[in-house]
């Protein structure tokens, strides 16, 4: 049978540090396009990266130069040639690295040429016209002898278990296995331990791979194995798998030793912080083989002591954070009392025989962004206001305090025309809030002036919920007039007011959307209709309305947490 024709490709690189990565992408792309088996493609990729890196770092040594790559591909065979003009160097003449006397001596580095010779079926080198020409053959190449046995070199080989449980017995072709001495020497458990003392025990262990976010240990029965992090890192969560209180087990660290040693249940959640490779040491190997090695036991004690110190530091930090939180809560409680004192005290307008008024504000947090006010402007004239600052918490509370202070200052300037006064108050409040508002907060307001002498209501909606008017003996209805923009964002806006009749026995309800948008556990909202139903039910018992409305909202919410401030102001003429 005629030999398979090879498809030939070439690439020229400079001697920059990025050239190895470019070569890797080139090789893998060609291999995928040509249908090269994945294992052979990985071998070719390993070789081209090691060879190009060697030429860049040790051949040209930072000097400018050129590297020519030639790749001939077939389904059964592949030939990679690397050509450079660096000083003469024969990779085939480099002896395999000596077996290290201890794990600390077995560092990563110096294995590159040995890996290339192990991954390739055969290798050749010649110095041709002042250039190094290195050729590696892959696949069943009958005309080329194998220059090195893949199973030489004394490097430990671990069976490999994939995340789906599939077991694969890896030979020297796995880069992880070839570097076994390197990763073992970085593990705290095996620091300064002679390789010969642990080789037989670790040959009974296996490697497993996990994606990020996989729980490898959780509270329950005692752990049946110790996990050593070969690649990646783990997170240990003490309070729950999603808790923020966690610490890291970096590459080289281990978990599960205490549970294996004392036979007690695992007490924390251990989750992969990133894709991980873990060395799984079974309970019997750990207890009977590894703990019998004095240095291993001492290393484990040191690791646990270091972990305990870090745990103590976290406990101290948590206590400090708890103390700071307690102080912050005290400050917020103090701020809540100050904010509460800024609102008018009950009963509102108590010395005014021609009007009744009741207000209520229940913040979603310690402090809120809602407010209300009721001010007597004359013998039978009253200024009413309610507002809702966007957002919640301390920023909203500070903005609320500023808005309420401005409103009160502007409301003190009497105007014979209540509509003109309301428009002026809205405009001045908007301009002053927008003048210095880097946080881009804003407020919606409903401003009203009730004149019981003329039985008239003037009102101005500054981007706020429509007020509700209940005429004597009538049903509640929304007043839809006077729609204006919100205040605090765009200065120099014009505002308008509207007018309605307000005879004796009328009632006016001002409120914030924390009432109508209160949610139940299934996501439904309290809505306008339920609010109007409660208002209609409370006729003569005027003062009971705020409490009755809160009871209705809480019953509807069914334990769902309050998400927004709840505020109302109810006024009625006698």
- Please name which of 305, 365, 362, 306 lies closest in space to residue 332, comparing C-alpha atoms: 365
**138 with 80: CB under 8 angstroms?**
yes
Distance CA 304, CA 298 (A): 10
Distance CA 60, CA 177 (A): 30
pLDDT reported for residue 33: 86
Q: What is the mean pLDDT of each run of 10 residues along the chain (574 residues)?
A: 72 90 90 86 88 90 92 88 93 72 49 79 91 90 39 38 41 36 70 78 84 91 88 89 84 88 88 92 89 86 78 77 81 78 89 93 84 94 96 84 93 92 96 90 96 96 96 92 92 95 95 95 95 86 88 94 93 92
What does the radius of gyration of the chain's CA atoms come to, in whole angstroms? 39
Domains of the chain: 7-153 (3.30.565.10), 167-314 (2.60.120.10), 343-573 (3.60.40.10)
Q: Which residues contact 462 (CB under 8 A, 6 or more apart)?
A: 426, 429, 430, 443, 444, 445, 446, 447, 484, 485, 486, 487, 495
The H-or-E segment that residue 279 falls in is strand 276-282
**How would you list the strands of the sheet with 355-362, edge to edge?**
355-362, 566-573, 507-511, 468-470, 477-478
- 416-422-427 Cα angle (round to 5): 125
| DSSP one-letter string for 285-324 | IIIIIITTSHHHHHHHHHHHHHHHHHHHHHHHHHHHHHHH
Cα distances (Å, whole numbers) of residue 83 to 12, 56, 63, 65 = 10, 12, 16, 11
Long-range contacts of 514-518 (CB under 8 A, 24+ apart): 514/364, 514/370, 514/388, 514/562, 514/563, 514/564, 514/565, 514/566, 514/567, 515/549, 515/553, 515/566, 515/567, 515/568, 516/465, 517/563, 517/564, 518/553, 518/556, 518/557, 518/562, 518/563, 518/564, 518/566
Distance CA 31, CA 19 (A): 18
**109 with 45: CB under 8 angstroms?**
no
- Please name which of 438, 361, 374, 437 lies closest in space to residue 407, comparing C-alpha atoms: 374
Taking the alpha carbons at both ends of the chain, their separation in whole angstroms is 112
**564 with 494: CB under 8 angstroms?**
no
Q: What is the DSSP letter of 9?
A: E
Q: What is the DSSP letter of 241?
A: T
How many Cβ atoms from other residues are within 10 Å of residue 101's Cβ?
11
pLDDT reported for residue 110: 56
**457 with 450: CB under 8 angstroms?**
yes
Distance CA 273, CA 540 (A): 64
Cα distances (Å, whole numbers) of residue 564 to 179, 231, 279, 366, 397 = 59, 47, 51, 12, 13
Q: What is the dihedral of CA 336, 341, 342, 345, to 10 degrees?
A: 130
pLDDT reported for residue 160: 42
| DSSP one-letter string for 540-554 | S-GGGHHHHHHHHHH
In a 3-state reduction of DSSP, which class is residue 421? helix
Distance CA 457, CA 133 (A): 98
Q: Which residues contact 486 (CB under 8 A, 6 or more apart)?
A: 442, 443, 444, 462, 463
109 burial (CB, 10 Å; 0-12 / 13-18 / 19+) is: exposed
Q: Kindly report the pTM of this predicted structure.
A: 0.50
Distance CA 533, CA 296 (A): 76
Long-range contacts of 260-264 (CB under 8 A, 24+ apart): 260/222, 260/223, 260/224, 260/225, 260/226, 260/286, 260/287, 261/287, 261/291, 262/222, 263/222, 264/222
**How would you list the strands of the sheet with 167-169, edge to edge?**
167-169, 159-161, 206-210, 276-282, 225-231, 254-255
pLDDT reported for residue 570: 95
């Amino acid at each position: 049978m005629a030999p398979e024709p090879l498809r030939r490709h070439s690439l020229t690189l400079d001697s920059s540090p990025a050239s190895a990565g470019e070569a890797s992408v080139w090789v893998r792309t060609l291999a995928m396009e040509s249908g090269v088996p994945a294992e052979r493609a990985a071998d070719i990729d390993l070789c081209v990266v090691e060879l190009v890196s060697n030429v860049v770092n040790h051949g040209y040594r930072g000097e400018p130069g050129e590297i020519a790559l030639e790749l001939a591909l077939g389904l059964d065979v592949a030939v990679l040639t690397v050509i450079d003009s660096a000083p003469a160097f024969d990779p085939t003449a480099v002896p395999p690295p000596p077996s290290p006397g201890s794990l600390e001596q077995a560092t990563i580095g110096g294995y590159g040429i040995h890996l290339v010779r192990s991954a390739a079926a055969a290798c050749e080198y010649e110095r041709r016209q002042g250039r190094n020409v290195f050729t590696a053959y892959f696949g069943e190449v009958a005309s080329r002898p194998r220059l090195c046995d893949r199973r030489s070199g004394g490097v430990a080989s671990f069976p490999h278990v994939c995340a789906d449980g599939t077991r694969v017995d890896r030979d020297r072709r796995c880069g992880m296995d070839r570097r076994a001495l390197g990763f073992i020497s970085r593990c705290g458990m095996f620091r300064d331990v002679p390789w010969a003392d642990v080789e037989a025990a670790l040959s009974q262990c296996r490697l497993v791979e996990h994606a990020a976010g996989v729980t490898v240990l959780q509270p329950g029965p005692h752990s049946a194995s110790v996990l050593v992090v070969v690649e990646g890192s783990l997170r240990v969560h003490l309070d729950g798998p999603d808790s923020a209180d966690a610490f890291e087990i970096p590459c080289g660290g281990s978990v599960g030793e205490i549970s294996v040693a004392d036979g007690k249940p695992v007490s924390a959640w251990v989750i992969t912080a990133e894709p991980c490779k873990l060395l799984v040491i079974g309970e019997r190997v750990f207890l009977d083989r590894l703990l019998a090695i004095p240095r291993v036991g001492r290393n484990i004690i040191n690791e646990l002591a270091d972990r305990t110190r870090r745990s103590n530091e976290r406990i101290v930090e948590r206590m400090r954070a708890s103390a700071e939180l307690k102080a912050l809560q005290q400050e917020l409680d103090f701020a809540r009392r100050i904010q509460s004192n800024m609102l008018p005290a009950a009963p509102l307008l108590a010395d005014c025989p021609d009007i009744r008024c009741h207000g209520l504000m229940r913040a979603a947090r310690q402090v809120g962004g809602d407010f209300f006010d009721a001010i007597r402007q004359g013998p039978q004239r009253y200024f009413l206001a309610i507002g809702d600052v966007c957002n919640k918490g301390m920023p909203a509370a500070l903005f609320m305090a500023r808005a309420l202070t401005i409103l009160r200052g502007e409301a003190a300037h009497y105007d014979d025309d209540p509509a003109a006064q309301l428009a002026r108050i809205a405009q001045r409040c908007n301009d002053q809030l927008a003048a210095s508002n880097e946080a881009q907060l804003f407020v919606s307001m409903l401003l009203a002036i009730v004149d019981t002498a003329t039985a008239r209501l003037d009102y101005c909606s500054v981007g706020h919920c429509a007020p509700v008017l209940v005429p004597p003996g009538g049903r509640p209805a929304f007043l839809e007039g006077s729609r204006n923009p919100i205040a605090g964002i765009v200065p120099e806006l014009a505002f308008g007011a509207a007018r309605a009749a307000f005879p004796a026995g009328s009632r006016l309800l001002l409120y914030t959307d924390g009432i109508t948008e209160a949610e139940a556990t299934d996501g439904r909202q309290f809505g306008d209709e339920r609010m109007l139903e409660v208002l209609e039910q409370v006729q003569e018992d005027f003062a009971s309305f705020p409490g009755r409305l809160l009871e209705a909202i809480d019953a509807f919410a069914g334990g769902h947490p309050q998400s927004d401030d709840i505020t109302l102001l109810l006024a009625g003429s006698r």
